[in-house]
Copies of this chain bind each other. A is one copy, B any other.
Amino acid sequence: MVFDNRVYNFAPGPAMLPKEVLEEASQDILNWQGLGAGVMEVSHRSKAFMACYQKAIADLTDLMQVPSNYQILLLPGGAMGMNAAIPMNLMGLAKKDPQADFVVTGVWSAKSIKEAGKYGNARLAATSSAQQYTTVPQRNSWQLSADSAYVHICSNETVGGVEFDEPPDVGDVPLVADISSHMLSRVMDISKYGVLFGGIQKNIGPAGLTIVIVRKDLIGHAMPLTPTIWDWQVQAETDSMINTPPTFNIYFAGQVFEWIKQQGGVAAIELINQKKSQLLYDLLDKSSLYDARVDRRYRSRMNVTFYLQDESLQERFLAESQAAGLLGLKGHKSAGGLRASIYNAMPLAGVEQLVAFMKEFERRSA
């Protein structure tokens, strides 16, 4: 199998995937495990697929050190689907009427609070909107209610590039975190959370699968209007197969889990991710051309956002970077500017090449 002219793809998701996993998948979609059928063609009830599913769950449990009182669910709908599914499953736990608290630090948590409002009282506990979503509001400013069913955060905002440096202490109320764009990029203490969830299309695999890790005592409280496919109790009892799951996405995620293990696990990957992001932030901090606006404490290791001081240079930056084989560097339309998404599958060499390009671009623009 030959990769012709493979580029470094800094897109925010769908995003670059590990080359080794793509190479295996290229074969497995033709003939998987010598079955005479490709992996997409095999029944989800077959022995081969069930073993694949079980291994993926076991490897994810191992990689994220998921405690035994947590359940991993694989659901359809993406993080945006979960914005509805989570209040449906959890808001009924509130001591009084259905309600929950939201900390809004960017585009994604803003979507979450809006959607949750369909199912109960979704309260704004704190927001950094006045700071153009460049930071996380100080914990002591959060207006939390003891009546809430849960507190929702997005622990890495893909658009703004704002990442929580540690899980906030919210007391006994379950903490719910959207980890779509930094899942498996750093060690997380699962026990600090009630629910962690994320789409896989950023750091894991092809779009179309959502991973939900939920503390088991939070299962079984779904509102009557909850669609069966999102009822955590139903899905927990059926290996997330109350209907046909996206088998290829599950297979692929499993292969990526295996790949992460081969890289030394999440702690080892985290060191590389620190190094990759540091290379970029060091450059940005020394530059007079580029402008990094996110509060240093909350700079994302996955989505490095920056601006050109002279915005008229942006089109040239994008055209020249693309010509140099560095793709997907345009910022989200709501934020403008530039963004380098450097998920696990982005090699250190890709970041080094980007840094070299940016230095050279700055030299030529001086």
Contacts and interface: CB of A to CB of B under 8 A. Distances in A.
Interface of A: 1-7, 9, 11-17, 22-23, 25-27, 29-31, 34-38, 40-44, 46, 76-81, 83-85, 115, 118-119, 199, 201, 205-209, 224-229, 242-249, 252, 325, 327-328
A199 B41 contact: no
A25 B1 CA distance: 13
Given A6-B37, A30-B22, A38-B17, A77 B77 contact: yes
A29 B37 contact: no
Contacts of A16: 37, 41
B22 A9 contact: no
Given A207-B245, A208-B209, A248-B206, A84 B5 contact: no
A34 B3 CA distance: 10
Given A9-B41, A31-B5, A119 B225 contact: yes
A152 to B, nearest CB: 16
A30 B209 CA distance: 21
So how many copies of this chain end up in the complex?
A: 2
B14 A207 contact: no
B26 A30 contact: yes
Question: Which of A11, A37, A38 is packed against the most chain B CB atoms within 10 Å?
Answer: A37
A119 B228 CA distance: 12
B115 A228 contact: yes
A14 B44 contact: yes
* Chain A, interface SS category: loop
Contacts of A327: 36-37
A244 B13 contact: yes
Contacts of A207: 40, 44, 244-248
A327 B15 CA distance: 36
Given A29-B29, A246-B246, A78 B115 contact: no
B7 A35 contact: yes
Nearest to A5: B36
Contact of A80 (B9, B225, B243): B243
A195 B17 CA distance: 37
A35 B7 CA distance: 8
Contacts of A46: 11
B44 A31 contact: no
Contacts of A38: 17, 22
Given A76-B76, A207-B246, A246-B246, A229 B7 contact: no
A184 to B, nearest CB: 17
A206 B246 contact: yes
Contacts of A14: 40-44, 244, 247
A40 B247 contact: no
A328 B81 contact: no
A315 to B, nearest CB: 16
